[in-house]
Amino acid sequence: MEITKICCIGAGYVGGPTMAVIAQKCPNIKVTVVDLNEQRIKDWNDPNTDNIPIYEPGLSEIVAEARGRNLFFSTEVEKAIDEAQVIFISVNTPTKTYGKGKGMAADLKYIELCARQIAKVAKQNKIVVEKSTLPVRTAEAIKSILDNTGNGVQFQILSNPEFLAEGTAVTDLLNPDRILIGGDTTTEGQEAINALVNVYANWVEKDKILTTNVWSSELSKLTANAFLAQRISSINAMSELCEKTGADVSEVAKAIGMDSRIGAKFLKASVGFGGSCFQKDILNLVYIAKSYGLNEVADYWEQVIIMNDHQKRRFSNKIVQTLYNTVADKKITFLGWAFKKDTNDTRESAAIYVADDLINEQAKISVYDPKVQRHKMLSDLDYLETRTKEENSNALTIFENPYESCKGAHAIAVLTEWDEFITYDWQKIYDSMRKPAFLFDGRNILNAKELEKIGFIYKGIGS
């Protein structure tokens, strides 16, 4: 089976970049990305591709090349479903905030809505691909919906999880460590797998395309994120011990990272991990383990989340304690709000929770982030429902100039490792601040010794 028409339901952080790269690398395939959010689709279709809704280095250039040729963004969901041979489901799967599994299980209501819409519209056989991060055995539920509410057509369900790191998503798509495709072991299932393999084979070496059964594919995604998050929480646990003993956590990380059995990646101490995947996927894993009665397994992985939450609280507590146990009416400048550099994604960003703690202490927070807009920062705080929207708006001031954001501040907290922060005139910043001036480096990207020479009282993670 040769694939010539693909539809992706969901124009977010996964669907948009993934489909753009597929379209660029497969000019013979018509790729249509659909979403019910009219503003999001309008932004994807903005003539100035620098204004597309997702910031990823290199993405705007790829969109500019493929859009209008064989890449299209539309709100006509049913039309795209009807025309496509392959339908990717790439919608949000947040952690449940209600009912059974509240706070841990994945909320699959959007997945189910997609399945029912596909079943209603499809008049020909389709391959349906899970691209969203889903709990193991979700494909079984999708297939049940499609087979029992459809129009008698045949569906093959594949699991094709993404392994993208925000900030390097384009590079990860162009040069992936692996492509994972899971499907049924039936003849029809294997034919569907091979059809999707041939799409990726346009630019990915065949030996990097791994095929498995659908359950292994689903669980591999959760496991990968759990292992990566566990490494971050492990090094953050050691950062606190380093502070107490006089060790340097960056030196410890370098020493153990040179062990080939461990490796250096994800061993950078920080204020904690954020993003859309790690916390959600670990909580999902905890919920699945508990549902099978594996309480010790659940407790083990839940501790990764507990350690991450502790690291964020510890950072905000360090700021309060250093500033003479009170930050009331003091200006604290945040450099960075995104959960990591080179993305405008703020989901589960440490900055949100540190700001929340400090606002509770009546601090005045000023923020500069090169890619995150004011309305997004405020909605992040509003989502916590700790205060009224008016209170959050009064407590948070957003600047478009980093030097203005730091002027008159009692302290600076670096919450995102944007490269541009390293290039600043830190003497100029220090001279504009209240004295004594403190700098809390939650990402350890600045040179502590040089900053202390300027006059900053430096407090970094693990220092």
Give 349-400 pLDDT, tens digit per residue: 999 999 999 999 999 999 999 999 999 999 999 999 999 999 999 999 999 9
Taking only the tens place, the pLDDT of each residue in 13-63 is: 999 999 999 999 999 999 999 999 999 999 999 999 999 999 999 999 999
Asked if pLDDT for residue 73 goes beyond 80, the answer is yes
Please, what is the angle between helix 374-384 and helix 350-360, to 10°?
A: 70
H/E stretch holding 66: helix 59-66
Answer whether residue 345 shows pLDDT above 70.
yes
Residue 135 has pLDDT above 60, yes or no: no
pLDDT tens figures, 85-105:
999 999 887 778 888 888 887
Please report the pLDDT score of residue 229 as a whole number: 95
Q: Cα dihedral angle (80, 81, 87, 89), rounded to 10 degrees? A: 90
Nearest to 133 by CA among 11, 231, 220: 220
pLDDT band at 140 (very low <50, low <70, confident <90, very high): confident
Q: Which residue in this structure is represented by tokens 């910043």? A: 429
Predicted local distance difference test score (pLDDT) of residue 177: 95
AA letter at 354: V
Burial class (CB in 10 A: 0-12, 13-18, 19+), 295: exposed
Q: What is the pLDDT of residues 243-299, one digit of tens each?
A: 999 999 999 999 999 999 999 999 999 999 999 889 998 998 899 889 999 999 999
Q: Which two tokens stand for residue 248?
A: 């340097």
DSSP state of 41: H
Tracing tokens 């899971």 back to the chain, one arrives at 182
Secondary structure of 7-32 as H, E, C letters: EEECCCCCHHHHHHHHHHHCCCCEEE
pLDDT of residue 97: 84
pLDDT for the residue numbered 337 = 98
Q: CA 281: distance to chain centroid? A: 11
Q: From CA 363, how far away is CA 73, in angstroms rounded?
A: 43
Structure tokens given for 400? 């478009």
Whole-angstrom Cα distance, residue 462 to residue 292? 38
Q: Which of 81, 44, 51 is nearest to 66 (CA)?
A: 44
- For helices 249-257 and 214-245, what crossing angle results, to 10°? 140
Q: How far apart are CA 410 and CA 292, in angstroms?
A: 51
Mean pLDDT calculated for residue range 202-213 = 96
Residue 132 is predicted with a pLDDT of 74
Cα 7 to Cα 30, 36, 173, 216, 407, distances in angstroms? 8, 14, 18, 25, 49
Using DSSP's 3-state secondary structure scheme, residue 426 falls into: helix
Catalytic residues: 162, 221, 277
- What DSSP line would sit under 134-203, residue for residue? --TTHHHHHHHHHHHHSSS--EEEEE----PPTTSHHHHHHS-S-EEEEE-SSHHHHHHHHHHHHHHTTT
Q: What is the mean pLDDT of the chain?
A: 93
Alpha helices of 260-408 — where are they, by DSSP H? Answer: 278-291, 295-322, 350-360, 374-384, 389-395, 402-406
Secondary structure (DSSP) of 353-365: HHHHHHHHTT-EE
At 152, is the pLDDT very low, low, confident or very high (cuts 50, 70, 90)? confident
Cα→Cα distances 40→23, 78, 165, 430, 460, Å: 19, 18, 21, 40, 38
